[in-house]
Structure formats: C-alpha cells, structure tokens
Copies of this chain bind each other. A is one copy, B any other.
Amino acid sequence: MTYKVAVAGASGYAGGELLRLLLTHPDVQIGALTAGQNAGSKLGAHQPHLFPLADRELLETTADNLAGHDVVFLALPHGASGAVAAQLPDDVLVIDCGADFRLTDSEAWDRWYGGNYAGSWPYGLPELGDNRATLRTAKRIAVPGCYPTISTLTLAPAVQAGIVTPDVVVVAASGTSGAGKSLKANLLGSEVMGSVSAYGVGGTHRHTPEIIQNLGALTTDPVTVSFTPLLVPMSRGILATCSAPLHDGVSAQDVRAVYEKAYAAEDFVHVLPEGQWPTTASVLGSNNVAIQVTADADAGRLVAVGAVDNLTKGTAGGAIQSMNLALGLDEHIGLPTAGVAP
C-alpha cells in the first residue's frame, strides 16, 4: 500500500528535510505541499535542493488543501498546529513537528509558552520508555524538540539506571538551522561565521521543561536541568555535553555497560567504541545518534556526549520513524543509516 502524505510548512527547514527523506521512502506518495506567506510560489524557489519537486506549487495551509491524505506532517510556527490539527479527521495520521502537543503538564505550558493549552499527543521518541508501543497505535504524534531529543537520549540510560543524581547540566552546541529561516540579524552569516554564542541561558529556553518531563518519567528522584544552548558556525547538528553527579562507586566501565545495554536493541542510537567521541559530522543527514560516556572520578560526575542532526533524527527523521511505527511499517524505512561526511 502507498500512503499519501501532505506536508504543511514545506518551505521551511523542517518541511524541506521531511521532503528530502520522503522522496526516498518507498511506501509514500508526496501529496499536497502547503506554506504560509510562500503559498503560490514554486517549491524550487525555496528548496533548491529538492530537484524532483522543484515545480510543485505551494498551496495555502488550509484544512481543505490538507484533506484526502493518509498522513499530514505539520511543520508550522509554534502555536499554529492546534487549529489546523483540529480540522483534520481522526483517522488521518497527524504528526506535529512543532511544540504545541509536547508538554503533558498544562502549568508547564502556561509558564513556558502561554496561550491556549492544546493538550499532549503521544511523544515521537520511540527509544524512550514505552513510547514505541504507544506510537504503533497512535493517530496523533508530537515530534520532540531537537534539543530534548539528544539531551534525553544522552542522559536517559544513566537516569533510568539510577547511577546519577538527576541534577543534570546540559550544554548543547547547535547549528543555525535549528533557529529556522527567521530573518534575524544574529542569524546572518556574517554574524554566525567565526563566532560562538550562548542564548536562552539560565533555564529560560523552552526546551528545558521538555527535557525535565522526559527524564522525570525515568526516575522517582526530583529532576533539575541546567540547560544552555550554544549557536555555533555550522548549518546542522547538535552536540550535547551532559553531566550529572555520579553515585559513589560507579566506575567508567559500569557506566559504559549501562549505556551499551540500554541501546543494544536500538538501531539508530550508537554507543561508540571506547575512546571514540561523537562528532556532529558523523551523523549529518542521517537518523543516527552517536553517544559516548565516561566517569570523571575527580569531579564525581558522569559525562556523556551525544550528537544528532537536528533536522534529521532531531526533527524530520524522528517524525518519519514515528510515522513508520504508526503505519505498521518497518521502523527504519526511508531513513539514512550513514551520515554525509566529510
């Protein structure tokens, strides 16, 4: 069976990556492509790398234009997904790449986002807890944020195994595509190249409660997250450096064993061989996550480093992985298992 798929927000970075991957997916047919202010123009003007779809016209993002599809991906600005989703039939698989349906706690929503709380959907991170089973029957899926994806996967084994006190520190260096195509002065090439900066410092970034929510589900201890995102001079990729106080007597070998066991059955999450540390280039364009972990005996901390492509596994790849599960397909279909390097 071939599934007909629509992408709302096709002219943005997440939409473009969805289409790049869907083009190689054997079980889907790419249907309507919609956009906001770019509606009426051709996709090729906004996504020149998507040659096979260059002549496709961008429609307006309306329920009518999205009707008649088996799957609808929403890659819209924050806050726009709820209204669109509400107009789509219940039996259509709707996958939201935005933040609207990620938080299960309405108070967290009020504090971090505000406005109407739309509720929460099954969370599109199959590697976490029981999510894989839930996703297999889901008709609505919230794709995780890019930072929560890599922060959670990098810390989850340690938190779940109870070898750390879950007061975690995450410093995550991200390429600029995570900020989207927004025309802001600090995202200009001239500002970004040759420079690193921090933003959303001091627990103010909106992905913080999502990381807390994810880790909190793995432990009965109270979880705190000190999260600092960095903007670094590259287009794609996140490297998350994560640490937490390590319980006494847990060695580096113990830590490795916990991680290797946790991800032994996961095909997209790779605990690297001892001594090899992740690079974002190694996962670029793929659905892979690369993780390495060690123990710092002097500082008494576990240090884990994870790499992900924010647009692939961090957004569009993760979304398609979840789609595969929800459609009853092999989870891996259409998802690159090798990065594009150098």
Contacts and interface: CB of A to CB of B under 8 A. Distances in A.
Interface residues of A, number: 94
Nearest to A278: B197
B295 A202 contact: yes
Interface stretch (A72-80, A84-92, A95-103, A279-287): A279-287
B198 A277 contact: yes
A190 interface: yes
B233 A198 contact: no
A161 interface: no
B203 A298 contact: yes
Interface string A216-255: 0000000011101010111111010101000000001000
B241 A280 contact: no
A169 B203 contact: no
A200 to B, nearest CB: 9
A189 B201 contact: no
B195 A281 contact: yes
B190 A188 contact: no
A49 B197 contact: no
Contacts of A252: 202
Interface of A: 13, 16, 19-20, 23-24, 44-45, 47-52, 54, 167, 169, 171, 173, 175-177, 179, 181, 183-185, 187-199, 201-203, 208, 224-226, 228, 230, 232-237, 239, 241, 243, 252, 270, 272-273, 276-286, 288, 290, 292, 294-301, 303, 305, 307, 336-342
